[in-house]
Structure 1
Amino acid sequence: MISMSIVGWDIGGVHTKAALVRYEADAVPDVRVVTRPFEVWRAKDRLPDLLRDVLAELTDRPPQAMALTMTAELSDVFRTKREGVRFVLDSVGIAFPKTPVYVLSLTGEWVPRAEAYDRPLDFAANNWLATALYVAEVYRNALVLDVGSTTTDVVPVVDGRVAALGRTDLDRLLHGELVYTGVLRTPLAAVVRSVPLRGRFCPVSSEYFAVTGDVYLVLGRIRPEDYTCPTPDGRPPTVEFARERLARLVCADIEQLTPAEIDAIADYIYERQLQQVETAVRKVRSRLGEPADLPVLPLGTGAFLAVEVARRMGLRLLEPPMAWGSAGGRVAPCVAAASLLTNWLMADGHEP
């Protein structure tokens, strides 16, 4: 293989992620990754500047090509997904007018950015497919369990092919292949209706007082620097403030609840979120006939949640592909997209 550098993008509504995958002859690819918090609805017109900043952090040389995936089109700053996809395509074009950009379609095709503009819905929420297609090239059988800040992907790979029934967000929700639960941004009333407290169950407030990031900060599952979304109260992502936020879930405060009581609430929410993900895994596996050997590939910011679900279900675990590097599993769609596009360009003799 000749020398080639490809950047893979996963442009979401609250995080923009990128991976530079550099190939040199037959050496193991060099992978660099960047994640930037960016809430599209707050300042969408700044997206081109952000993209340029992220690329500058990855490399001082322009890549030969870029591979694009996205989920930002769902943001309610756009009236339709069609509008959102086109906005992302435009933003990438403004940021990198001289770099060839290819977009992954929901049928697995690489399409030049300009052509994608004419059929935008074929490219909406395509990031999960990049991961699944690459995993299918590495593992014959696997269950991709990618737990992110906001959502969880449950994607089966069977006999070397992506065996998902859904392609769009709506269809994937219906089939249990997309679960709207994650380890940072999920409001806690979306996980539990009540929590154990002082010998009984206390209903929770549906106010935006705390999120799952507070739960995992208190439980030591994430570090403050992993809490890459705004906190509900605007205070820092520390254990002390996270406990304050969690106390308000039951309309209390730290003068009314002890740290032990708050931590017990956090642990209960963790258990309930595990059950949410396990329920989806069981639903997906059930239509496959509960295959005996469908090991779990845990990915994402919340890979620890995927690992625990697999352990409780007695399922074998897989390691992320070695070519992704140590950090690739946290931004799997980016690394997968860059790798897939490289293979496509090389195999078919396409000019970047």
Structure 2
Amino acid sequence: MATSILGLDIGGANLKAATADKRAVSVPFPLWKQPDKLPTALAELVAKFPGVEELAVTMTGELCDCFETKRDGVHAIIAAVRRASGGRPINVWSTDGAFLNSEEAKQNHMKVAAANWHALATFAGRFAPDYGGLLLDIGSTTTDIIPLNHGVPSTYGTTDWDRLQMRELVYAGVRRTPICAIWTDRVCAELFATTQDVYTILGLLPEAPDDRDTADNRPLTVEYSLARLARMLGGDREVLSDDQIIHFATRIHSRLKQQLAESARAVYYDTPSAPELRTVIVSGAGEFLARPVATTAFPETIADRIVSLNDQLGPDASACAPAYAVAVLATEHRR
């Protein structure tokens, strides 16, 4: 019987788990608010997958400001995984393209810190095995733009610092990004609204009346999103019409799309000796945005060469793509 491996992606806002047979679960977990509860939350998540024998781990949560340094964050996350593991073997993905055991991961913390993009790109490369490819993964908080050379990730940097400088990491996503980080002209520089308000208003994200993880802790509905976005303009729904607010939402969407398209072009065409671009792979909670970003960035190349991980994997596994990626990579490594 094949060993069942559970992939874990431990982020700052969500915990994600998946197996290679596409069972997947994502749960919200604001790590920066409650790092002491991470072991319990992970144990509860692992318990949803009875029968797993090993854990394959990747992470981004070490950047949370509840940790003094990334070293502290990596060590705390690995300690939490150990407590939640029930004695199962643990392997942690590194940007060397290999798994490390938990002690090796602690000793090489910068190679496992924020390595989930590398795991996903390594897995996604199989959908672009020939010539040039690009992974465009838009999440709730960040966007990863990863060039692929015959299926292999080809990047300048492996740390958040390096990747931000090279625009391979863009700190903008479709849910948690403050509007004032995207639109700076004649708006309030306050956390009055986030991008999930824009995309809820535009019908690209579903309403979630039970979700109060919003700028004002009111429900994620069109009505409240309109009010939050009006506040960004120094107004409210008595001062501004719905049409004015919706127009503002449309402009924010257009600006974010253009900013990400410019980064995608810069990343790919600044790569030395980049092969002809043949495939763009889109994924993440913001896959609906990644597709127009791709066609805007590369209109002459890839109109009919976009691969959707949502289509390839199904919505559950796609929503937990880095966790699924490490589960698959670990399973293949085991074989």
Could you say which TM-score interval applies, normalised by the shorter chain?
over 0.9
- Assess if the C-alpha contact under 8 Å between 1:300 and 1:330 holds in 2: yes
Q: In the alignment, is the contact (CA less than 8 A) between 2:209 and 2:221 conserved in 1?
A: no
Are the equivalent residues in 2 in contact too, given 1:71–1:125 (CA < 8 A)?
yes
Is this contact kept in 1: 2:19–2:328, CA < 8 A? no
Q: Does 1:293 align with 2:290?
A: no
Q: How far 1:322 sits from its partner (Å)?
A: 7.4
Among 260, 270, 276, the alignment partner of 2:253 is 270
Residue among 284, 287, 294 paired with 2:267: 284
Indicate the residue corresponding to 1:184 in structure 2. Answer: 175
Determine which of 303, 312, 330 is the counterpart of 2:319.
330
Kindly indicate whether residue 12 of structure 2 is the aligned counterpart of residue 13 of structure 1.
Answer: yes
How many residues are aligned here? 327
Alpha-carbon distance, 1:189 to partner: 0.8
Task: Give the superposition deviation at 1:174.
Answer: 0.9
| Partner-residue secondary structure (3-state), 1:41 | helix
Q: Would you say 1:170 and 2:161 are equivalent positions?
A: yes
Residue 15 of structure 2 is aligned to residue 32 of structure 1: no
Deviations 1:151-181 (A, max 9, x none): 0000011123111111000111111100000
- Partners of 2:93 and 2:152 lie apart in 1 by 17
The reply on whether 1:49 has 2:40 as its aligned counterpart is: yes
Change (3 A) 1:261 1:87: same
Work out whether residues 193 and 204 of structure 1, in 8 Å CA contact, stay in contact via their aligned partners in 2.
Answer: yes
Question: Which amino acid in structure 2 is aligned with residue 20 of structure 1?
Answer: T
Which of 98, 113, 119 pairs up with 2:108? 119
CA distance in structure 2 between the partners assigned to 1:137 and 1:17 by the alignment: 22
Per-residue deviation at 1:55? Answer: 2.0
Deviations 1:177-200 (A, max 9, x none): 000000000001110112xxxxxx
User: What is the match of residue 95 of structure 2?
Assistant: 106
Paired residue type of 2:285: T
- Aligned to 2:277, the other structure's residue is in SS state coil
Aligned-residue CA RMSD (Å): 1.8
SS of the residue corresponding to residue 236 of structure 1 reads: coil
Distance 1:7 1:221, change over 3 A: same
Contact 2:133 2:280 in 1 (8 A): yes
Structure 2 equivalent of residue 89 of structure 1: 78
Matches within 5 A, 1:198-277: 203-225=186-208, 230-277=213-260
Does residue 310 of the first structure (1) align with residue 294 of the second (2)?
A: yes
Alpha-carbon contact 1:285-1:291 (below 8 Å) kept: no
For 2:250 and 2:84, the matched residues in 1 are separated by 44
Determine if contact 2:208/2:219 at 8 Å carries over to the other structure. no
From 329, 338, 344, the equivalent of 2:333 is: 344
What displacement does 1:142 show? 2.1
Q: CA deviation at 1:114?
A: 2.4
Q: Give the C-alpha shift of residue 138 in structure 1.
A: 4.0
Kindly indicate whether residue 143 of structure 2 is the aligned counterpart of residue 152 of structure 1: yes
1:64 to 53, 59, 62: 53
In the alignment, the residues of structure 2 paired with residue 321 and residue 240 of structure 1 have an alpha-carbon distance, to the nearest angstrom, of 29
Offset, 1:126? 0.4
Change (3 A) 1:132 1:74: same
Question: How far does the alpha carbon of each residue in 1:280-329 deviate from its partner, in whole angstroms, 9 at most, with x for none?
Answer: 10101212467543321110000011101122232220132977344322
Shift of 1:6: 1.1
5+ long unaligned stretches in structure 2: none
Q: 2:208 touches 2:221 (CA, 8 Å); kept in 1?
A: no
TM-score, normalised to structure 2's length? 0.93
TM-score by length of 1: 0.89
Give the C-alpha shift of residue 109 in structure 1.
Answer: 1.5
Q: In structure 1, what is the Cα distance between the partners aligned to 2:153 and 2:247? A: 39
* Alignment correspondent of 1:200: none
One-letter amino acid of the structure 1 residue matched with residue 281 of structure 2:
L
Structure 1 segments unaligned to the other structure (5+ residues) = 22-29, 195-202, 347-352
Q: Distance in 1 between matches of 2:23 and 2:211?
A: 19
- CA distance in 2: counterparts of 1:116 and 1:16, whole angstroms: 19
In structure 2, the residue matched to 1:25 is: none
* Aligned mates of 2:210, 2:4 — CA distance in 1: 30
State whether residues 138 and 290 of structure 2, in contact with CA within 8 Å, keep that contact through their aligned partners in structure 1: yes
SS of 2:148's partner is: strand
